[in-house]
Structure 1
Amino acid sequence: MTGILTTTILAFIMYIVLAGILIAKNSHRKGTFKAALLIFIFLFIIGSVSNYIILLPITVPNMVIANTGIALVGIFLLYGVTSVKTKKKKIGSYEAALGLVILLGVIAIPTVFVLGIFTVDDTYQSIDKQEVAEAKPLNKDDTPITVSPEFARNKVQKSMSVVPNTQFYDLGKLQVQRVGEDIVFVAPVEFTGLWKYFRGKETAGYFMISATDINAQPKFYDSKMKYTNSSYFNHNIERTIYAEFPNYIQSGEPQIEVDDDGKPWYVQTLYKPIGVTNKPDMKDMKVAVVDPVTSKTVAYDMNKAPDFIDSPLSSEMATDENNYFGKYVHGWLNSLFGKKDVKIPNDSGTESSVTPVFDENGDMYYFTDMASPKENIDSALGYTLINARTGELTYYNSKKNSGIMDSKGAKEIVNKEFPEKKWEGSMPILYNIDGNPTWVVNVLDPNGLFKKYAYIKAADSDFVVFGDTARETLESYRLALAQDPSNVEATGESALEEITGEVDRAIVTTQKAGQVIQFLLKGDKTVYTINAGKAPLSLFLQQGDKVKLKANIRDNGTGIVDTIEIEGLTE
């Protein structure tokens, strides 16, 4: 309540000053004072209730607009009340006051708006950022999220019957995080309305479901919460945070994260605005952590948040950061005219246009690919990774891998594949598969149920492999890469093993990708595959040939050959 009262009082400064001047100048001072006081009380009550509902942060633009609006209404009411008892010659001061308020409003509000426009460059400069000249697509083993939030939500919704008094609740916002060694989605149950809040008083707990196993089932955890997003009045989480930090702006909807003991906490990103605007200062951000049982609220610098919190930076703030970084690289005017170096974030993400991923160290990042502002161009300029604990943005440009499609193009390929079933692509992420930039996309039906995986070669829209499981699709895609005659170069960053041996059996088959040679070595059960486009002389491979090769050995008993030397043929 302290924050609400403070904000409301600050919104009345202009009215109090002008009312005081009018009282001093009015010959009927006693009547004017009483009228001004009653109007103040009336407007103060309305202002307090309004602020209790909208939770107006204490910032310069907000206070300017609030003061102008309240002063205008207050002086107009005061003029209307006192003019009945005052002769015309005494009314000039009221008219002057009204004119002054209107003039200040005409000057101040546009000024704040204009300052906001020219402050976007300050916000851009406040971003902790770096650019890497070469885009290195994410490693599939380091970023293992393979379940789309839509599919996970659908599965959890079907399990809501296990919640006590399930008629009171609905599923809240899904949040991905690492719990122990597992990557999971966590979602609280929330009240469905005011009446259910009065009846239930506290929510029942939260669900957890794997974000890496498509066959996993959700599990409900009984952990009652009194202070939640869907609670009303002083039990609402945003209101709880506002009461402690009214001079900070909240970014997005508070989300829950679970500590090592299974206790849920509500987490919210806060930021201070720059100067006399509401534009975010990316260097002055904090994270508020709320105990949903006691309402105890503590704010931390983001990089000093408790270890169990994977994303002190909200997905909404990450989206804003991408927008400022991409659009205002050379200022506001350039974002409208010329658009030099402007990059537009795609909105293909799973959370507020970004997609959370984890690196090999278990740190969470927000992934977003960047496209050209020019219409009808679906090639990616690069992508950003934003550290969810520090807010640091790294931009990987794709100049070396120019011509790769963006996430929108990848989703459209999937959408066009199953028009009669209305299946659509979801959660596209750019991975590095054996040195090839590859879009990995979930295929969902209209009800959000998972149907297939799609692996799409980012540099070739016709190179698409579908499969029912992540492992099956990955291996099929790798095999297709090896059989593709256009893939005549080495697999780059894939791990190659040097192998020597004697051919035991060999066959040549003709496939869509061209002629493919598969063979076995004596004493080795690995099935080796090489495309004739990479090694034409391998077409003449036969039993007894001694070979020396480099291959990427899979854990499914297959090997994709990159180079081969055949004694007597290539030596």
Structure 2
Amino acid sequence: MKTKSLIAYYAALLAGALIYWFFTLIPLNFRDRTFFIHFIVLVALALLPFLHLGLRARLRQQFEQARVNRFASGQQQPGCTPFLRMFQGYNVKSLFSTRRLLLIPVVLLVLYFILGLTGTPIFQAKRYASLITKVEGVFVDDIAEIEFYDIPTVDRESALRLGNKRMGEMADLVSQFDVTGDYTQINYQGRPIRVTPLEYGDIFKWLNNRANGLPRYVRVDLISSEVDLDPIPGGMKYSESEPLFRNIDRHLRFQYPTLIFGTPLFEIDETATPYWITPVMTPKVGWFSGLDVTEVILTNAVNGSSDRYKIEDCPTWVDRTYPSDMILKQLNDNGRYQSGWLNSMFGQKGVLQTTAGYNYLAINDDVYLYTGITSVASDSSNLGFVLVNQRTKDTRFYPISSADEMSAMASAQGAVQEKGYISTFPILLNIEGRPTYCMALKDNAQLVKMYAMVDAQNYQATAVGNSIRETIANYTVRLAAQLSSQQDEDRVVSEAVSVSGAITDIKSVVIDGNTVFYFMLDGEDAVFSAMHSIYEKLPFLQIGDTIDVDYRSESIGGLYLVEQITRADGE
């Protein structure tokens, strides 16, 4: 091969490698499996000219020697074609000796498999189990009770539908932009919301609008269902829909060519400035395996400036640094390999796994991933559940035996089976110190029609309603009936308060065979709830009767549970 041809070959190889990297954005890091494999292929391609030159020289030498031998001996094999005569006396073994150069990629390939073995669970079970540490928590201390007007009821599918509907009302935007399906759940100014950026409708609309960038992002309030298309001063120049250098993945790769990234997530800070939050991953098990977040990169989506932080120094307004799928994998590895790899395959004593779904909770201005923990036998019950802070990976385990989420969803659907509604995946609430599943019930058009609450420890205790307030009221009655019929040692009882007054209104309902009375007193805004069993003359009370009431100081959905009633006249 001539020198010019050799230069042209390597120039083409380099250009091809750069173009390929421009689109694949593989991290230039030998601890990344994909890069290691591509490096082996690149080395093999780089050695091809040397292999070609060696083979060509060897062939020329063999052909010349074979021709000399033929003429010297005067022998010619009958029936040989002119082509085969060229190879008379040719040593095939010596030809293939030029392929020693191929040992370099072969050695690299063997090294790749050896390094891969260093991260297999059979050798590193304990390391996998230690990637996440669970600390036992106290449910009533860690998860505070919230009022009905603070309960988030909008799931991701509903947020997507609401966002698309709002976008369709903006005639100047809908013709040029689409709404992405990200809808990242975060906390913004103390409220749980989902945010997602817009994207260019197609390549021509990108050409028309790229100078100004994406003008807005979608913000959905998960409590009130309000949807806003917030303007972005200066326009969002860096996004996933940019095809060239302002594509957020390409922008980050050119800034940090050697880092291993997770998927960038869209968030806004407390001043509504859009950012891309990108976790930086480092293998913690063996050479390639056990990826965990060690750093985070915050990229301003307007001007593209990036700041790199150690995970412990990440700003507190950031809610999502640890990817949900990575957390779930680490939880499953923790439950699977606590007693070693052999036990995870045979016997499976104490082997645990997460349940089939997960959701998010907003606690103290942080976003927590919630999921149940069950045995590997996959029965219909949970041994407890975990909450994982998605900014710090602080993990709390609550060993509360309960029905799993799928059983709770089935119970909620069964309460309205004649309507054929489908339950969303539940969130976990603290209602009177008890873990409670709360979920929306949708029709076939994915419209929320009702709400349901299910006692996690007794999924037969289910209540539904047309609003969250009505659902809590119905659930409170069922919970009161349940708690009055049995002593719950785990329940934390609030301080008792006494009040006297004349009855201004009184109603009764029958739930599961128990009569429950609701009444109000003169001069009190509270609505009181009392079981028939606490006062035998309760059914005979009328408006205007004056009574003394002892009730719990903490309300449940606006209702106060009554513990004792006496007539003011002593009866």
Larger CA deviation: 450-459 vs 335-344: 335-344
Three-state SS of the structure 1 residue aligned to 2:298 is strand
Q: Name the residue aligned to 1:240.
A: 251
Q: Name the residue aligned to 1:468.
A: 466
Q: Is the 8 A contact 1:500 1:548 kept in 2?
A: yes
Give runs of aligned pairs for residues 429-448 of structure 1, distance below 5 A.
Answer: 429-448=427-446
Larger CA deviation: 503-512 vs 463-472: 503-512
Give runs of aligned pairs for residues 67-82 of structure 1, distance below 5 A.
Answer: 67-75=39-47, 79=51
- In 2, the alpha carbon distance for the partners of 1:208 and 1:519 equals 41
1:295-325 CA distance string (max 9 Å, x none): 2111112342334323233434433443333
Q: Is the 8 A contact 1:72 1:102 kept in 2?
A: no
- In 2, the alpha carbon distance for the partners of 1:281 and 1:49 equals 28
Q: RMSD in angstroms over aligned alpha carbons?
A: 3.6
Three-state SS of the structure 2 residue aligned to 1:480 is helix
Q: Name the residue aligned to 1:132.
A: 137
Deviation of 1:234 after TM superposition, in Å, equals 1.4
Provide structure 2 residue ranges, at least 5 long, that are not aligned to the other structure: 63-90
Larger Rg: 2
1:351-387 CA distance string (max 9 Å, x none): xxxx23222x323222222222213x12112222122
Q: Is the 8 A contact 2:216 2:229 kept in 1?
A: no
Deviation of 1:536 after TM superposition, in Å, equals 7.0
Change (3 A) 1:112 1:188: same
Deviation of 1:146 after TM superposition, in Å, equals 2.4
Q: Is the 8 A contact 2:285 2:291 kept in 1?
A: no
Q: Name the residue aligned to 1:92.
A: 96
Equivalent residue letter for 1:43: L
- In 1, the alpha carbon distance for the partners of 2:173 and 2:550 equals 64
Three-state SS of the structure 2 residue aligned to 1:159 is helix
Deviation of 1:275 after TM superposition, in Å, equals 6.1
Q: Name the residue aligned to 2:19.
A: 49
Three-state SS of the structure 1 residue aligned to 2:348 is coil
Q: Is the 8 A contact 1:552 1:561 kept in 2?
A: no
Give runs of aligned pairs for residues 262-277 of structure 1, distance below 5 A.
Answer: 262-274=272-284, 277=287
Q: Is the 8 A contact 2:119 2:290 kept in 1?
A: no
Equivalent residue letter for 2:30: T
Q: Is the 8 A contact 2:126 2:340 kept in 1?
A: yes
Change (3 A) 1:419 1:56: farther
Q: Is the 8 A contact 1:551 1:563 kept in 2?
A: no
Q: Name the residue aligned to 1:381.
A: 383
Equivalent residue letter for 1:147: V
- In 2, the alpha carbon distance for the partners of 1:523 and 1:222 equals 50
**Quick one: percent identity of the two aligned structures?**
21
Three-state SS of the structure 2 residue aligned to 1:127 is coil
- In 2, the alpha carbon distance for the partners of 1:152 and 1:220 equals 15
TM-score, length basis structure 1: 0.80
Deviation of 1:569 after TM superposition, in Å, equals 10
Give runs of aligned pairs for residues 159-178 of structure 1, distance below 5 A.
Answer: 159-161=166-168, 162=170, 164-172=172-180, 173-178=182-187
Three-state SS of the structure 2 residue aligned to 1:262 is coil
Q: Name the residue aligned to 2:115.
A: 112
Deviation of 1:56 after TM superposition, in Å, equals 1.6
Provide structure 1 residue ranges, at least 5 long, that are not aligned to the other structure: 1-30, 350-354
Equivalent residue letter for 1:146: T
Give runs of aligned pairs for residues 305-344 of structure 1, distance below 5 A.
Answer: 305-344=314-353
| 1:227 equivalent among 238, 253, 276 | 238
1:449-500 CA distance string (max 9 Å, x none): 3222110122333322112222221122112222347743369335343215
Paired residues in the alignment total 524
Equivalent residue letter for 1:101: P
- In 2, the alpha carbon distance for the partners of 1:222 and 1:264 equals 8
Q: Name the residue aligned to 1:530.
A: 530
Deviation of 1:63 after TM superposition, in Å, equals 4.3
- In 2, the alpha carbon distance for the partners of 1:338 and 1:434 equals 40
1:426-466 CA distance string (max 9 Å, x none): 24112221133211012233443322211012233332211
- In 2, the alpha carbon distance for the partners of 1:94 and 1:419 equals 76
1:402-446 CA distance string (max 9 Å, x none): 2x1112222233455566766322241122211332110122334
Residue 298, structure 1, aligned to residue 307, structure 2: yes
Q: Name the residue aligned to 1:150.
A: 157
Change (3 A) 1:506 1:289: closer
1:503-557 CA distance string (max 9 Å, x none): 8698876543323355666765755433245x47566876879656333564887
Change (3 A) 1:132 1:232: same
Give runs of aligned pairs for residues 28-39 of structure 1, distance below 5 A.
Answer: 31=1, 38-39=8-9
Q: Name the residue aligned to 2:189.
A: 180
